[in-house]
Structure formats: structure tokens, C-alpha cells
Amino acid sequence: MSTALAYAAGLFDGEGCTYVMHGKRERDRPTLVLSITQCFDAEVLHRFVDAVGEGYVSGPVNESGTGSGPRWNYRCQRIGPSLVVLDRLWPWLGTVKRAQALAAASRVLEAVDLAWRRPEKREQYGTLLRYFLTTHTITREDT
């Protein structure tokens, strides 16, 4: 299993990103999103999903006039599953992706208290995010 996760972390380290997605309406809740886009072949993304156990692959999407061919996209766009994936990949991620994940998780945590109206959800996601942020750091050895 660790070989598959190391492969997945390498793919995410080179091609993936972690970001915060906000809804179009003010009341929409922000969420943590993991994404990888690949052209021409979805097989590597399906291998990624098999390794990390969360998220989905969509596509192909053809954008006429771009010359890039069909694109497939991996996405994991819920707080809990995204944190699970990041936790599984963490031992093999480089410092850039670690910093990106920590920054995005921090931004979602800041927004949770403002956007989540249900106290039990605020507490649940706040606890998950705080735990992730305190147990996943970038140390001097990582740089």
C-alpha cells in the first residue's frame, strides 16, 4: 500500500493542488478541495483514486480551440475526505504542497466559524481542521 501512496503523492506533488472553494452565494460554505488535471489519459487519475480511497475522476472535457485534447480531472471537495487524503499522502509530499495544504486548511478553519450556521457542524469541522493543523507541520528536516 505504501508504494501506491508514494506514487500518488508524487503525482499530487507534481500535478495537484489544494485550495479553498467558496460558493457563489454568501451563505455557501467554503470547503477544502484537492484537484489534479490530466490530458489525454485518465488512467493515472484512477490509480490515484485507488491509492488514496477518496474523491472522483470526471471527464473527458474537450475545449474547442485550445488544442490541448481531452482533459480529465480528479477532485476531492469535502473537508473530511480531503484531510484524509492529505494525511495519507503527507509522508511523501514535498514542502511546497505541504505549505499549500496547511495554508488552505487554515483559511477554511478561519471561515468555518463564520459560514457554518449549525453549531455541531462548526465544532465537527473545526476540530478536524485544528487536529490536522497541529499534527501536520513542516519541519527543518523537510526543507
If you count them, how many residues does the chain have?
A: 143
Rounded to two decimals, the pTM is 0.88
pLDDT given at position 22:
82
Which among 23, 134, 124, 34 has a CA at the least distance from the CA of 84?
A: 34
Q: What is the pLDDT of residues 7-63, one digit of tens each?
A: 999 999 999 999 999 877 655 678 899 999 998 889 999 999 999 999 999 988 876
Neighbours of 8 (CB within 10 A): 25
- Report how far residue 81's alpha carbon sits from residue 54's, in angstroms, rounded to the nearest whole number: 6
pLDDT, average across residues 111-119: 72
Indicate the CATH number for domain 2-142.
3.10.28.10
Say which residues have a Cβ less than 8 Å from residue 92's Cβ, sequence separation at least 6.
Answer: 5, 6, 9, 10, 13
Domain boundaries, the chain: 2-142
Residue 104 has pLDDT above 70, yes or no: yes
